[in-house]
Amino acid sequence: MNVKSLVKRNYKKQPEIDFPDYKSSIFRAPKNKKISIPSNLEIFGPIFNKKTIGELDNDLTLNFSKNKNSPLGHKIIVHGTVSDQFSNPIKGALIEIWQANAAGKYLHQDDKNPAPIDPNFSGCGRSLTSSDGSYEFLTIQPGPYPYPNRGIEWRPMHIHFSIFGESFGQRLITQMYFEGDPLINICPMVNSIADEKAKKSLVGKLDTSRSNIQNILAYKFDIVLRGVKQTFFENRQEGL
Amino acid sequence: MKNSRNILDETPFQTAGPFLHIGCMPNKIKINNLYKNDLGEVPFKNKNEIEMITVEGSVFDGNGIALDDVMLETWQCDENGQFFEDNGFARFIPDKSTKKFKLLTVKPGQVENLDGKNQSPHICLSISSRGLNMTLNTRIYFEGDDLINDPILSMIKNDKVNIDSLVAKKIKKNVYVFDVFLQGDKETVFFDM
Ligand SMILES: [Fe+3]
């Protein structure tokens, strides 16, 4: 019988959980080592219905606008593919995004940054990937913003991504940064990842081919979820 | 067969930050008329409430403070051990004033392990928040079930792990308490699977 299992996670390519440069982690990061167990239920996962996704859910320039007024800032396309580690495109993956507005302000009561909210921008969007694993959002360029860490520090411009693939064990929450932003290299959250290549993989690349066609700046951000492999497993009899 | 040398690196995690509600549960923070419903508001549609259980608890940080800016997500089978693609997923946050989360769901049935052994009923739980550079994964087992013969629990019990932290305590009929401790003496067991 063929049994599915998840490819072991490579923690060298992941952020350090216990990373005091990011102050909030000090009293939240678990201190004990994770316990390794074989994946089982986690091979399966929720599949989200196309019908739950609204037509404008991936257009943040319109999904919260009043009387078709545009949010402030310049429009950008953020697009790419979701695949697994074996380069198989994942169709129907749910991508949810959230971001600050052009002034670096979130539409959230806990955001204490003294910057203006934009009445036409929620910063909230979602999409399901197509059969080739591709996705696309139309949004505006988020601003960088200050936040309390070791004193006041600045987050590079970023968009938060939450992704569900086919299995609960593939679940990923991450952030996309923007090519050329000088704040990336001094951000403790980025630097919680030691591996340079892994760090770079979170930077959306300016995609001029796409930008020229649509007259809007475009960024490409490809996402790789854990691989699900099929292995042959001999059915053992009870008591053997 | 694909060459294992061509295996791509998984995209790294980054913290969900304090504003994850905007993207994952906008209705909860009064960003209304965008999505009809937040995803995972109920884990199972069309279940009889009388047969449901409640799992409630808090998520504590290293200072013993119950957090209200964490997001919890659960994934489980139904009472017969069956999986469904469009059922079994729930997403919730602790209440702002009580700092307690509450999951109303069916008690999961037994599910078969790869080698055919039955696993004790459990719910997969993931936790994301500000301060967590990666989403954490754990499991909720239930007091009163046969936990001694569970293949996963018996596999890890020799590692001096805090198995107690994985077991929801029954406080009355159909009500269980499951607290999560991110740090400290009672630190919850988190899994890599
Ligand atoms: Fe942010």
Position A129 in a domain? yes
In 3D, which of A75, A117, A79, A72 has the Cα closest to residue A97? Answer: A79
Q: Which residue segment(s) compose the domain that A147 sits in?
A: 48-234
Report the pLDDT value the prediction gives residue B1, as an integer from 0 to 100. 46
User: Which residues are CB-neighbours of B68 under 8 A, at least 6 positions away?
Assistant: B93, B94, B95, B96, B99
Question: Mean pLDDT of all residues in chain A?
Answer: 93
Position A123 scores a pLDDT of 98
CB-neighbour burial class of residue A163 (10 A; exposed 0-12, middle 13-18, buried 19+): buried
Determine which of A32-41, B44-53, B164-173 has the lowest per-residue pLDDT on average.
Answer: B44-53
Percent residues over pLDDT 90 in chain A: 86
CATH code: domain of residue B143: 2.60.130.10
CA distance A4 to A165: 15
Position A72 in a domain: yes
Query: CB–CB of B2 and A9 under 8 A?
Result: no
If one counts the domains in chain A, the total is 1
A155 tagged catalytic: yes
Is A12 a domain residue?
Answer: no
- Is A83 part of any domain? yes
Among candidate residues A158, A177, A219, A226, the one labeled active-site is A158
What mean pLDDT is predicted for residues A84-110? 97
Residue A107 has pLDDT above 90, yes or no: yes
| Per-residue pLDDT at B167 | 98
3-state SS, residue A164? strand
Query: Could you tell me if residue B10 is inside a domain?
Result: no
Interval A51-60 mean pLDDT: 95
Q: What is the mean pLDDT of residues B146-159?
A: 88
A100 Cα to the center of ligand 1, angstroms: 7
Residue B23: φ, ψ to 5°: -85, -30
Residue type, B72: L
Lowest-confidence segment of A21-30, A66-75, A191-200 by average pLDDT: A66-75
What's the CATH code of the domain at A206? 2.60.130.10
Scanning B79-108 for CB atoms below 8 A from A yields 83, 85-86, 88-89
The predicted pLDDT at position B178 comes to: 98
Residue B93 half-sphere exposure toward CB, CA atoms < 13 A: 23
Residue with tokens 């009293």: A27
Interatomic CA distance for residues B82 and B56, integer angstroms? 23
pLDDT band at residue A17 using 50, 70 and 90 as cut-offs: very high
Name all contacts of B150-156 with Cβ < 8 Å and 24+ positions apart.
B150/B119, B150/B120, B151/B113, B151/B115, B151/B117, B151/B119, B152/A37, B152/A38, B152/A40, B152/B113, B152/B119, B153/B120, B155/A37, B156/A35, B156/A37, B156/B189
**Tell me, what's the pLDDT at A1?**
63
Q: Which residues pair with A124 in a beta bridge?
A: A98
The answer as to whether A30 is a domain residue is: no
DSSP B128-148: EETT-SS-EEEEEEETTS--T
pLDDT beyond 90 at B54: yes
The mean pLDDT of B69-92, rounded to a whole number, is 94
- In the reported structure, the alpha carbon of residue A142 is separated from the centroid of ligand 1 by a whole-number distance in angstroms of 10
CB contact under 8 A, B34 and A122: yes
Q: Please give the ipTM for the structure prediction.
A: 0.95
Give the distance from residue A21's alpha carbon to the nearest chain B alpha carbon, in angstroms. Answer: 11
pLDDT(A6) > 80: yes
Q: Write the pLDDT tens digit of every residue in A208-240.
A: 988 876 689 999 999 999 998 877 666 554 443
Is B151 inside a domain boundary? yes
Give the separation between CA A58 and CA A67, rounded to whole angstroms. 18
Site from B133, B141, B161, B181 to mutate, A interface, most A CB atoms within 10 angstroms:
B133
Find the mean pLDDT for residues A126-134.
98
pLDDT of residue B4: 54
- Residues of chain A with pLDDT > 70: what percent? 95
**How many angstroms away from the CA of B161 is the closest CA of chain A?**
9
For chain B, what is the domain count?
Answer: 1
* Domain extent for B62: 20-181
Mean pLDDT of chain B: 93
A59 pLDDT more than 50: yes
For A176, the 3-state DSSP assignment is strand
Q: Is the dihedral of CA A169, B59, B85, A225 positive or negative?
A: negative
- Decide if A70 is inside a domain: yes
Is B14 within 8 Å of chain A by CB? yes
pLDDT at residue A238, rounded to an integer: 42
A219 is catalytic: no
DSSP H or E stretch at residue A136: strand A134-140
User: Span B39-53, mean pLDDT?
Assistant: 88
For residue A38, name the pLDDT band (cuts at 50, 70, 90).
Answer: confident
Position A33 in a domain: no
Query: What pLDDT, on the 0 to 100 scale, is given for residue A4?
Result: 82
